[in-house]
Amino acid sequence: MKKHLLIGVSAFVMGAATMAYLNQNARAAGASGAESYRVLELFGDVVQAVEENYVSEVESRKLIESALDGMLTSLDPHSNYLTPEALNDMRDQTRGEYGGLGLEISSEDGVVKVISPMDGTPAFRAGVKPGDYITAVNGQSVIGMSVSEAVKLMRGPPGEAVTLSIAREKTDPFDVKIVREVIKTRSATARMEGDYGYLRVSAFNEKTTEEARTAFVDLRAKNPGMKGLILDLRNNPGGLLDQAVGISDLFLENGEIVSQRGRNPRDIERYNARPGDISGGLPIVVLINTGSASAAEIVAGALQDRKRAELVGLTSFGKGSVQTLIPLRGGADGAIKLTTARYYTPSGRSIQKTGIEPDLEVAQSREEAQAIANRAFQFSEASFRNALKADDGKARVAPHEPAETPPQDFNPRTGDFQLIRAKDVLKNGSVAATPKLPKPTARMAEVVGARASTPTPAKAGATPEAPSPKP
């Protein structure tokens, strides 16, 4: 059974008899097949050499699994091999319940980076931030580990403490102790913000659409005078494609939500909305930022293209591909998560590497604004060395001054500037009708003017990867 995500093989050693069989088949398969089998023979020779000559004894299965994962991750940042244990972890994650810390992490070149802490989880309460690098778990270095290996160290029985060693930009390395809990991810919550409803969707698991529907309907019933809705998708790392379609469908009466296109140009699958807008046509503003990825971008792109909502915040992550989960032997040997298609918004645009640009660009803090001016806030799909190419050679927006920045005396720790501006848009009826704030200070302009070369990603070892299993 295949499952579309917007997020094994038994150990063996190829001996002479096996190679002889493969070579017979290679001759029958022609030149292309012969080359494939020649390389497989090379692989078998390497495995055998390692087993016989490596300084210490090695486990064949671990060698093969590492090779499988390396093969898949070389294709793009989002394809990988899942061991049976990692597959079970992913199933727990998509079901919305597992034991751990509540982190969305990624890895490139063996460096573990935080995509985002999940709302209300131990990691969130401990102050772990998007962009943090995790260098060790309980004193054991995770440098060089795959995401699956790092997740395995962080997950475990609830009630046990886990110490993470964190490297954060412009901060000395530090340790933080976090106690594991049963992570029952409530992916949708709602509340009132003055006259406007506020619906927070933090992830896309199997329960997201129903949780969002229930949360909004209950809130509307208690507040029949609601004048508009703010849909918050900030730092939402994505998840299941069908749930992205489901959330979009809640607020659309008809028409296309998203299409996905595979290797064959004629292989196009379209997802359309069904009649029924649960908000009854209320004006909607969607909040996005650089942590809004994958399924979150499908929702934002659909509502923006269909003129159903306007977007406030920062350009999104830029993951415009779909992964299919393909179990091996029913999951007994794990599974492969393989990029099988690109997705396109209703207007036919691919946002791969470029992201979705908001209708009103607003930085959450002055520090964030300066980071964007200095290096385009490099935490994005475009940071990956082996990311799929952007559609038609399009490029992500270059380093620049954000259109709006909080005033000097605004405290981002006690206030939410992007949310304030979203309410201003609803109050005034549209982005176009909303009075714009004064341009940022001269200091910000100086930061931009000081750029002398193409910015490079901040180094604590590597740039980020897309959403992966959560610890």
Active site residues: 294, 305, 319
Beta strands in 314-406, from DSSP E residues, in sequence order: 321-327, 335-344, 360-361
Distance CA 293, CA 384 (A): 14
Strands 360-361 and 103-108, how do they pair?
unpaired
Among left, alpha and beta (phi > 0; psi -120 to 50; other), residue 195 is: alpha
Cβ neighbours, 10 Å, residue 452: 5
DSSP tag of 380: S
Torsion sign across C-alpha atoms 160, 113, 292, 402: positive
Cβ–Cβ < 8 Å for 205, 240: yes
Distance CA 467, CA 318 (A): 12
Cβ–Cβ < 8 Å for 373, 448: yes
Nearest to 107 by CA among 387, 470, 468: 468
DSSP tag of 71: H
Buried/exposed code over 150-175 (b: 16+ C-beta within 10 A; e: otherwise) = bbbbbbeeeeeebebbbbeeeeeeee
Helix residue ranges per DSSP H, 75-229 = 84-95, 122-125, 147-154, 208-222
Q: Hey, what are 211's tokens?
A: 């949780």
Among left, alpha and beta (phi > 0; psi -120 to 50; other), residue 187 is: alpha
> Using H for helix, E for strand and C for coil, what is the string for 252-297?
CCCCEEEEEECCCCCCEEEEECCCCCCCCCCCEEEEECCCCCCHHH
Nearest to 86 by CA among 278, 319, 331, 276: 331
Cβ–Cβ < 8 Å for 384, 427: no
C-alpha dist (Å) from residue 365 to 285, 399, 414, 421: 20, 16, 11, 13
DSSP tag of 423: H
Nearest to 166 by CA among 77, 103, 251, 249: 103
Distance CA 20, CA 182 (A): 51
